[in-house]
Amino acid sequence: MLKDLASLIVKHTVPSRRHLTPELVLRLVTPECPLWRAKEDEIPFKDPFWAFYWPGGQATARYILDNGELVKGRRVLDIGCGCGAGTIAAVKMGASRVVANDIDPYAIAATSINAILNDVAVETNSNDLIGTKCEEFDTILIGDMFYDEEFANVLFGWLQGVRGEGKTILIGDPGRHGLTEKRRQHIELIAKYNLPPESCIENHGFTETSLWKLK
Ligand SMILES: C[S@@+](CC[C@H](N)C(=O)[O-])C[C@H]1O[C@@H](n2cnc3c(N)ncnc32)[C@H](O)[C@@H]1O
């Protein structure tokens, strides 16, 4: 099963370093790929979020690679790992355990492929962990998951609940509508980056991305 998903991913993506973390090579759908211009009914995947490196994920991985002490020796959970960059960055910077979590099996397969490309081993989990206690982790990464208001409400409420248990919660986000003014009062800006040109084209109007920490 994982092998079938992996061969489809390899067929439709190319290795790319044209993003904020060029030290990581990631298989992505880029302008060179037929899928970039494909019509919806020609795409063999439903919502292939894992095929793109979202601005929020780019900010998260960039910050981790530049500030390894944040994850060194820590137990990290990357919720909604997508292509797996946040996970790979945390493994590279010496986290004691990193789990890449996504409910999309293609994201799990893409993360596994990208981990191999970057010479790291990753642990994956495809359960929906939102709403659970996640006691075995002390750091949670949320890369670009505030794109839907209803989901943002559930996600933010859950993060505030688990934060009470002494966890560090990092949120990468380019300014999506789900990260409302009200929610921003509960997070602290820790870094801001300009997005590379290809990411700006891909993300219609976003030119910057930020990393936030739940207070
Ligand atoms: C916008 S993408 C971001 C991917 C990656 N973090 C990045 O920034 O490049 C959101 C990801 O969250 C995943 N997702 C959505 N709901 C989820 C849930 N309840 N638990 C785990 N992952 C989820 C999607 O499958 C998708 O891969």
Arithmetic mean of pLDDT, 110-123:
98
pLDDT of residue 5: 92
Q: How confident is the model at residue 1 (pLDDT cuts 50, 70, 90)?
A: low
Residue closest via CA to ligand 1's atom 25 equals 104
Q: Is 174 in the pocket of ligand 1 (CB under 6 A)?
A: no
Q: What is the mean pLDDT of residues 111-135?
A: 97
CB atoms within 10 A of CB 119: 9
- CB of 82 sitting under 6 A from ligand 1: yes
The domain segmentation of the chain, as residue ranges, is: 2-214
Mutation pick for ligand 1 pocket among 26, 102, 124 (CB with most ligand atoms within 8 Å): 102
pLDDT of residue 202: 82
Nearest CA to ligand 1 atom 5: 82
User: Crossing angle, helix 85-92 and helix 105-117, to 10 degrees?
Assistant: 40
Confidence of residue 41 (pLDDT cuts 50, 70, 90): confident
Distance (Å) from CA 51 to ligand 1 centroid: 11
Q: Which of 77, 112, 114 has its CA nearest to residue 96?
A: 77
Alpha-carbon distances of 36 from 23, 26, 104, 147, rounded to whole Å: 23, 16, 20, 20
Of 12, 25, 28, 16, residue with least CA distance to 120 = 25
Q: What is the mean pLDDT of residues 139-143?
A: 98
Contact 122, 88 (CB under 8 A): yes
> CATH topology for 2-214?
Rossmann fold (3.40.50)
Q: Angle of helix 55-66 relative to helix 85-92, nearest 10 degrees? A: 0
Nearest C-alpha to atom 7 of ligand 1 is from which residue? 57
Output the average pLDDT for the chain: 95
Lowest mean pLDDT across 33-42, 115-124, 184-193: 33-42
Atom of ligand 1 nearest to the CA of 147: 1
Query: What confidence tier does 183 reach under pLDDT thresholds 50, 70, 90?
Result: very high
**Average pLDDT score over residue span 14-37:** 95
pLDDT at 204 over 90: no
2, pLDDT greater than 80:
no
pLDDT at 170 over 80: yes
